[in-house]
Structure 1
Amino acid sequence: QREDEQGEKTAPPSHQLSFIGARCCVQSNKRCTVIGGSGFLGRHLVEKLLERGYSVSVFDIRQSYELPGVTFYQGDLCDKRTLLPALQDVSLVFHCASPAPGSDNRELFERVNILGTRTVIEACVEAGVQKLVLTSSASVVFEGTDIKNGREDLPYAKKPIDYYTQTKIEQEKLVLAACDTEKNFLTVAIRPHGIFGPRDPQLVPILVDTARRGKMKFIIGDGTNLVDFTFVENVVHGHILAAEHLRPSSPICGKPYHITNDEPVRFWDFMSEVLMGLGYAAPRYHLPYTLVYGLALLLWLLALVLRPLVSFKPTFTPMRVALAGTHHYYSCERAKQDMGYKPVIGLKEGITLTVQSYPHLRRGA
C-alpha cells in the first residue's frame, strides 16, 4: 500500500503489483543453503553467492567464520531434524560437505558421503527444495591409470583407489538418481579436479610441509604427465552456472559435469611453480613410477595392519602417487555446451594469486 496526497492508504496500481510479485519471486529463487559452507570451497562459494545477490545460509558441523547477512546452522549432516531448519523457505541447496581426500577412515567417508547425502536428499524433498547441486569429483572415474581428455560418459571406477573415491561414486549416483522433473526436484553434479586457491587447507600446506622436511626433491615418473588443476573461483563459477541453468527443460538435469581450468599442465611443472613462488627448490631427481607406487602400496597396507598397535601416516599414499605420476585431465565440452562455462581465472593468474595468499608459508617465514 501507499499513501495518497490526503494521507489515505491506497493499493498500488496493478502494473506495480505485478512488478512486486515478480521481484518477490526472484528473491525467493535466490534463497539458498550451502551445506559444508565452512570448508575451503564452501566459503568461496558463499562469498560469490553474496556478491551475486543471493540470500545465503550455511549448514556445517562447525562455524569457521562470520559474514554479514549469512545465517549459520551447526549440526550433524546425518541428523535430518538438525538439517531441516536450514532448508526452510530455500529453493536451492549446494552440497559441498565431504571429508578431505587422503584419510583412511572408511567409516567417516561412508557416514558423511553416503548416509549424509541420503539425509540431504530426504530433507530437501521434505522441505520443498527445488534444486540440489552436488560437489562431486572427477576422481569417480579414476582407477590410477591414464585418463586423457576424459568425458563424463566414462564409466565409474570399478576399482576405486581409495575410500574417498569409492564413497564419492555412491554419493553422485544417489544425487543424480534423485532428479525428478515431474516432482520439480532437480539435481546436477559438478566434478572439479585438483582444486587450489587462497585458504586451501590441503594442497599448498601439504606441499610446503613436505618441502620443509626435505622430501620434495624427487619427481615420480618421467615428469611429462599432464593433469588438471582448477582454481577455486572457476569451481565456484561452475556451481553457480549449474544452479542457474537447472530447470525442468534443461539438458543438465540429472547429469555430471567436469569443471576444470581447461588448461592441462605437467603435474611437476605446477608443483615446481608453486614451490619456487614460495622460495623452495623445485624437485629435480627422477624415481621410477612403478617402484614408488609399489612402496606406497606396501606402506599403506602396513599402516592398516599395524593400526591397532601404532598409528602412522605415510607421506605418499597409492592415490597420491597415482595422481603425481599419471595423465589425468578432463574435457569441459559438455559444460561449455550446456551451461556456457568458461574459466574466469587462468592457470598462471590462479597460481600467482594462490602464492601471494600464503606469505606465512614462504621459506624463512
Structure 2
Amino acid sequence: MATRVRPSVKKCLVIGGSGFLGRHLVEKLLDRGYAVSVFDIRQNYELPNVIFYQGDLCDKQALLSALKDVSLVFHCASPAPASDNRELFERVNIQGTGTVIQACKESGVKKMVLTSSASVVFEGTDIKNGTEGLPYAKKPIDYYTQTKIKQEKMVLEAYDSESGFLTVAIRPHGIFGPRDPQLVPILVDTARRGKMKFIIGDGTNLVDFTFVENVVHGHILAAERLKADSPICGKAYHITNDEPIRFWDFMSEILVGLGYPAPRYHLPYLFVYGLALLLWLLALLCSPLISFKPTFTPMRVALAGTHHYYSCERAKEDMGYSPVVTLKEGIKRTVESYPHLRQGA
C-alpha cells in the first residue's frame, strides 16, 4: 500500500541518499510523511515508495530527470573525509555541487539544504564553543575541508530571494551511529592491529560527537524553517549533540563496549604531531618511487589531540533545535548495532 503524503508536503530529493547520513535521512523523511526520491552514484538498499535515480552529480541531464516536480533538495553527497583522492573531492564537492545548483534552478526547486561540516573553520588548533561567526579556515587541515569550504560558499551564495531559491547549510561534527562505515569499523580495525594503546596529549581535549539522528533532525528542521522571511536563509548552522566529551573518553566507551581495551599510555601531542608531519613529508617526497600511507597524519593527530567543539545556540534560536538522542544513548545504540565487530566475534 502506498504511503499517503500530507497535502502540504511536497516531493523531496536526497542527493547522496545511499550514504550513511543520507539513508538515515531518507528513513526519517518517510516516517514524517514526505514523498522521497534518492539520487546517488550507487543504490545499496531498497525501501518501499522510494524512487532511486543512479547517476553522476556532474551529469545535469540525469539530475534534471530526478528533479522533476521536486521542491526540496537535501545535498548530502560527499566522498569520505579519510579519502586522499583530490580529484574526487574536486569533482563531487565543487563541480558536482555547481551542477546541482544549476539543475535545481532550472527545475524550479525552491529549497536546498546542504550537509556541510564544522571543519570548515578548523585549522588544527583549539576551538572551544565555536560559533558560526568564526572565519573560514585559511589553512584547512586537508583537501576534503578545502573543498567543503568552497562548496558551502557556493550553496549559500546561490540563495536568491528574488527568484525564491532558498538555501541553508548544516554543519555537523563527528557523526556516528548504526551503519556508520567509517568511525567504528576503522576504530575496531585499529584496535585489532594493536594500535589503540596510546592517548595523544593529556587526554583532556573536548570534542563534539553527534549521533546521526540528531544530524537528521537538524536537516529536517532547517528544511521546514526555510521560508522567504526566515532568518536561516543563506546561513550555516552548527548541529551537534551539544555535549562535548573528551575525545579519548568517547573512543574508550566505544572500544570497551565492544570488548576491546581502552587506550592507556600517553604520548606528548607535539612529539606525535611532529612525527606525523615528518612521515607525511617523507611519503610526499617518496611518492614517485614508493607509495605508503602513515597511520597518523597531521590531520588525524590534530583531530585527536585538540579541543574542537561548537555552539548550537544559533540553531536553537532560529530553528528550535535541540538534540533528540543523548550522547549516552547514542553510544549505547551504536555499540549494540555492531555485534559482528565485538572482540572474539
TM-score (norm 2): 0.97
RMSD after superposition: 1.2
SS in structure 1 of the partner of residue 168 of structure 2: strand
Q: Indicate the percent of aligned positions where both proteins have the same amino acid.
A: 84
Distance 2:98 2:234 in 1: 16
SS in structure 2 of the partner of residue 257 of structure 1: strand
Distance 1:311 1:233 in 2: 38
Deviation beyond 6 Å, 4+ runs, structure 1: none
Q: 1:6 maps to what in 2? A: none
Amino acid aligned to 1:50: L
Distance 2:246 2:191 in 1: 19
Q: Deviations over 1:70-110 (max 9, x none)?
A: 00000110110111111110000000000101222211111
Deviation at 1:331, TM superposition (A): 0.2
Report if the CA contact (8 A) 2:173-2:208 is conserved. yes
1:252 aligns with 2:252: no
- Alignment map for 1:288-303 (pairs within 5 Å): 288-303=268-283
Q: Deviations over 1:189-223 (max 9, x none)?
A: 00000000000011000100000000000000000
Deviation at 1:28, TM superposition (A): 6.5
Q: 2:265 maps to what in 1? A: 285
Distance 2:55 2:287 in 1: 30
Report if the CA contact (8 A) 2:78-2:92 is conserved. yes
- Alignment map for 1:1-365 (pairs within 5 Å): 27=7, 29-365=9-345
Distance 1:191 1:27 in 2: 30
Distance 1:71 1:311 in 2: 42
Deviation at 1:116, TM superposition (A): 0.6
Report if the CA contact (8 A) 1:29-1:92 is conserved. no
SS in structure 2 of the partner of residue 250 of structure 1: coil
Report if the CA contact (8 A) 2:125-2:302 is conserved. yes
Distance 2:333 2:10 in 1: 29
SS in structure 2 of the partner of residue 174 of structure 1: helix
Mean alpha-carbon deviation: is it higher for 349-358 or for 100-109?
Answer: 100-109
Gaps in structure 1 of 5+ consecutive residues: 1-23
Deviation at 1:301, TM superposition (A): 2.4
Question: Across the two proteins, how many residue pairs are aligned to each other?
Answer: 342
SS in structure 2 of the partner of residue 191 of structure 1: strand
Q: Deviations over 1:262-285 (max 9, x none)?
A: 000000000000000000000010
SS in structure 1 of the partner of residue 48 of structure 2: coil
Deviation at 1:248, TM superposition (A): 0.5
Distance 1:315 1:62 in 2: 29
